[in-house]
Amino acid sequence: MAKSEKEMGMLRDHLAKHQLKLTRQRELILDAFLKQEHITAEEMYHQLAKKDPHLGLATIYRTLNLFCEAGLAQARHFGTQTQYDNISHKGHHDHLICTGCGKIVEFENCEIEKLQEEVATRNGFTITTHRLELYGLCSRCRH
Amino acid sequence: MAKSEKEMGMLRDHLAKHQLKLTRQRELILDAFLKQEHITAEEMYHQLAKKDPHLGLATIYRTLNLFCEAGLAQARHFGTQTQYDNISHKGHHDHLICTGCGKIVEFENCEIEKLQEEVATRNGFTITTHRLELYGLCSRCRH
DNA sequence: ACCTTCTTGAGACGATTTATCAATTTCAAT
DNA sequence: ATTGAAATTGATAAATCGTCTCAAGAAGGT
Ligand SMILES: [Mn+2]
Ligand SMILES: [Mn+2]
Ligand SMILES: [Zn+2]
Ligand SMILES: [Zn+2]
């Protein structure tokens, strides 16, 4: 609870800057969110049902979107649902996804990121975010 | 009509291999699809309403998904909708997307693709497809 | 403590895509 | 060409996901 100082600070900053309030729900959801690598609103809804059975799904959606605006999370469409990635710990990262078993491996590659910038510049764009997903089979599923 | 020999062949192959049938609707939708770079089911529905007012939206969805399986199209979630990219003409490509005006620039970058392969190999994966989207502002929207 | 403003929870709602199913069409075997 | 099993279609119901609405409650500056 006291270990998420940095993230709590980022949230407070964002709230202050936009005249928003720090609520019990927002603290609760932040706590749960920081323990995850990526999670959907629905998953979090079920997880938190134990701690607060009255917490509404709409509040979870609202709060996760707030985290995105505060720079703590990043939304990513995966399949039919939206995954909220925790970027506060390890920063931005991309994904290798096994279409056989659903396994997800996270990676970072500075060279790729650099080339992306070049492509953007060449086309007159300024990149704010990106998304790179590699789909295939992991070593186990290949056999 | 006669210029889409290759694509028609790919479709026929897929149909034969899966005991599926070549229908008037599938030909109609293929024709329209090959004229596009990327299109949504809804857009195609409206386009084809002139040629066949009875063509159902469900058939369009079914057929575009069929094209994906046949290797002619690739589905890509963009905003709330699914875009079906025509990959038969220019092959695989990635996208630069302006979050200001919605402009889409297509690009290919072999170096990036090569680095992707390296990342996959390093993690024991064999890539079958991937998706790279760069979001940002185009030169016009930056001002 | 007061009061304005923001937030919440419950469910309605909207948008998109898939499932259902009776009627029709395809196509391979006669 | 005819037949008949199997696939396809169109209309619409249903499912899914996320946002909107709004009255009741909470936050926080004074
Ligand atoms: Mn990246
Ligand atoms: Mn590519
Ligand atoms: Zn696997
Ligand atoms: Zn733009």
Mind listing the pLDDT tens digit for each residue in A13-23? 999 999 999 99
Count of C-beta atoms within a 10 Å radius of residue A98? 22
pTM for the whole structure: 0.86
- Nearest Cα to Cα of residue B78 among B142, B135, B32: B135
Name the amino acid, one letter, at B18: H
d(CA A49, CA A45): 6
Asked if B132 lies within 8 A of A135 by C-beta distance, the reply is no
Closest ligand (CA of B101)? 4
A39 SS3 class = strand
Crossing angle, helix B57-70 and helix B41-48, to 10 degrees? 120
Q: What is the mean pLDDT of residues B111-128?
A: 96
Mind listing the pLDDT tens digit for each residue in A42-56? 999 999 999 999 999
Q: In this model, does residue B1 exceed pLDDT 60?
A: no
Domains defined for chain A, CATH in brackets = 2-86 (1.10.10.10), 94-136 (3.30.1490.190)
Is-contact B118 A103, C-beta < 8 A?
Answer: no
Residue A93 Cα to ligand 1 midpoint, Å, equals: 5
- B77 contacts in chain A (CB < 8 Å): 77
Residues facing A77 on adjacent strands: A82
Q: In this model, does residue A84 exceed pLDDT 60?
A: yes
The reply to whether B69 Cβ lies less than 7 angstroms from strand C is no
Structure tokens at B39: 């299109």
Q: What's residue A2's pLDDT?
A: 52
Structure tokens at B76: 């890509």
